[in-house]
Amino acid sequence: MSNIAEAEKTQDFSGCMPAKPQQEHEWLHKLVGEWTYEADCLMGPDQPPMKSSGTHSTTSFGGLWIVGDGHSKMPDGSPAQTRLTLGYDALKSVFVGSFIGSMMSNQWVYSGKLDASGKILTLDTEGPDFTTPGKTAKYQDILEIKSDDHHTLSSQAQGPDGTWHSFMTAHYRRKR
């Protein structure tokens, strides 16, 4: 008998039963749909906020995950694409996911929790420090459900002194 077949006979696969959606997965599914968004992003001190807009399509992936694809334009007019994945890891009791964009080479890996109100999901991540090249910084992306047809995404960075600085807010509105 092969080593693989022998290993399969001795392993316990009972933990591989299909996962069942939980309350947290239902929360994520409030984001499923076709959306338009408008965003304001601070690009630096003494600069006016940069405005952008685009579309975002979010689908369910097996009832346990959501996958969202965004489309917009960069300031120079070139196309920009983003992809968001979010799920809930019941074993760790934490929301998990990732974000990538066609305009960046890094992947943002998320870990987060809902607040006590059940309306705000704060996702912690780490990425390039935009003030100190070659360093990383802590960030948070914060999703807030305003209504069935409106949610926001806000991003903030943690400064060297530990304070959080908001630099982007986007309003997503369900297409009708």
pLDDT tens, residue order, the chain (176 aa): 455 445 445 555 555 678 899 999 999 999 999 999 999 998 777 888 889 999 999 999 999 999 999 999 988 889 999 999 999 999 999 999 999 999 999 999 999 999 999 999 999 999 999 888 899 999 999 999 999 999 999 999 999 899 999 999 999 999 97
Residues contacting 50, CB < 8 A, separation 6+: 40, 41, 42, 43, 75
CATH class, range 20-41+51-174: mainly beta
Q: Where exactly are the structural domains of the chain?
A: 20-41+51-174
Dihedrals phi, psi of 86, to nearest 5 degrees? -140, 140
Contact 56, 69 (CB under 8 A): yes
pTM comes to 0.87
